[in-house]
Every structure is written in C-alpha cells, then in structure tokens.
Amino acid sequence: MVKVVAVISRKPGLDRAEFLRLWQQDHPAYVRTLPRLRKYVQNPAVEGYRTWPYDGVAELWFDSVRDVAAAFDSPQATALRQHEEHFIGELNWFLADEREVELEPVEAP
C-alpha cells in the first residue's frame, strides 16, 4: 500500500469552523469518487494548545503508485481540486509507504 499524505492550510480569511465544515462534511463526497481509493483519513490540527503551521493532514491509501496516478488523472480529481479551491490555501503532499514500528515494553519507574 502507498498513501498520499497531504499537509493543508486553510484559505486566508476563512475561519476554522467554516474550513472544518467544508473539509469534513462536504469534501469527503469528492474524495470518495476517486478511482481505486482504499481509505481516506482526515487529521485536523488540535486547537487551543498553540498556533500550528498547518490546519490538518489528509491521508489517501491506494494499492500502488500507478493507482495514485490513475486517480489523480481522472475527471473525479478535477472536481475534487475545484472544490479544494473553496477552503484550502496551501497544500503540500508526498507519497509514503507506511511502516508500523512495534514499541518495546517500558518498565514503570
């Protein structure tokens, strides 16, 4: 499996509530139409602790790099990108090959 990891910032002038509404409620309908998509996860930044450089991270899982290319060359991706223009100010992404690392047991002090 390979995933697209997209780090996003909201569009300037858009408040957090509207950004989250557009991303979490409206945008999944566009993402779900991408061909060969296996899984979609949104990771909004936790509010209140500090000012973060980004508003969230999206993860989109595919079986292969070829499937990623096919999905983002599709007409569905065009509609997805057009919707993103309403709420995303900056988007940076990369492809990742997730590896889970087992944690060693930690003894209590």
Instruction: Give the rounded percent of residues in the chain with a pLDDT score beyond 70.
Output: 100
- For residue 44, what pLDDT is reported? 97
**Rounded-to-integer distance, Cα 102 and Cα 52, Å:** 28
Of 22, 60, 29, 30, which is closest to residue 42 (Cα–Cα)? 60
- For residue 107, what pLDDT is reported? 81
pLDDT at 41 over 80: yes
Higher-confidence position of 75 and 50:
75
How does pLDDT run across 73-102, given as a tens digit for each residue? 999 999 999 999 999 999 999 999 989 999
Write down the domain spans for the chain: 2-96
Region 2-96: CATH code: 3.30.70.100
**What does each C-alpha distance from 10 to 5, 15, 38, 72 come to in angstroms?**
16, 8, 25, 21
Residue 105: which pLDDT band, with cuts at 50, 70 and 90? Answer: confident
Of 96, 103, 102, which is closest to residue 7 (Cα–Cα)? 96
